[in-house]
Chain A
Amino acid sequence: GENVEQHPSTLSVQEGDSAVIKCTYSDSASNYFPWYKQELGKRPQLIIDIRSNVGEKKDQRIAVTLNKTAKHFSLHITETQPEDSAVYFCAAMETSYDKVIFGPGTSLSVIP
């Protein structure tokens, strides 16, 4: 089955700096890669996603890149703000939508 790895597990950046979180997946059949943000005590919420027919997608300060050959995908957050502090999960899903497998998460702290 699908296995998603994520690095780093914790990340501290100064406000205004960029943050990069990297993930790898194992199942070449996966073709949908969402990123979720989870604030303490709350539900995961989708922040951006990318499909396998696209190499890069951007939404304001957030961008995601995908390398299907290498089975890598990354989240980039620019101009970080304290409210970006949260746990970020990458995930992978197959076309059948039977399941979304999450990575272990990255705890991001943005220091004012």
Chain B
Amino acid sequence: EPEVTQTPSHQVTQMGQEVILRCVPISNHLYFYWYRQILGQKVEFLVSFYNNEISEKSEIFDDQFSVERPDGSNFTLKIRSTKLEDSAMYFCASSGPRDRPNTGELFFGEGSRLTVL
């Protein structure tokens, strides 16, 4: 069964450094998302991406964050100048298989745990 894959599974970085989290969505999906989950808390929406552009973003997704689809398979989240409070699990998700455009179901990757020291 196709899956969303994410790398790295865990990244430790120093405060102020830049990190790039990578995702490979399911190949026939149309919508891509990044979510954040601080330990023990809710799953927070960051950004959605459709047709090669951002379609929606939350107030969390400020100028520190950016997303990119550099090729036909990868979807990346870049966090510049990391802060302690950026420590969280970052989940990539995709939805919208081409043959069922209205499904809406999100398929999540296993997540990338970011630890900022």
Task: Name A's B-contacting residues (CB within 8 A).
Answer: 32, 34, 36, 38, 42-46, 49, 89, 93, 96-105
Query: Is there a chain A Cβ closer than 8 Å to B12's Cβ?
Result: no
Total contacts A to B, CB within 8 angstroms?
57
Summarize A's interface: helix, strand, loop or mixed. strand
User: How many interface residues does B have (CB within 8 Å)?
Assistant: 23
Nearest-Cβ distance from residue A17 to partner chain B, whole angstroms? 25
25 contacts between A and B (CB under 8 A): A32-B104, A34-B106, A38-B43, A43-B91, A43-B109, A43-B110, A43-B111, A44-B91, A49-B104, A49-B105, A89-B43, A93-B104, A97-B48, A97-B50, A97-B96, A98-B55, A99-B33, A99-B48, A99-B56, A100-B33, A102-B42, A102-B44, A104-B42, A105-B41, A105-B42
- Name which residue of chain A comes closest to B56, CB basis: A98
Binding site for A on B (CB under 8 A): 31, 33, 35, 41-45, 48, 50, 55-56, 58, 91, 95-96, 104-106, 108-111
**Complex Cα gap A96–B101 (Å):** 11
Q: Which residues of B sit under 8 angstroms from A103, Cβ to Cβ?
A: 42
Contacts of B33 in A (CB 8 A): 99-100
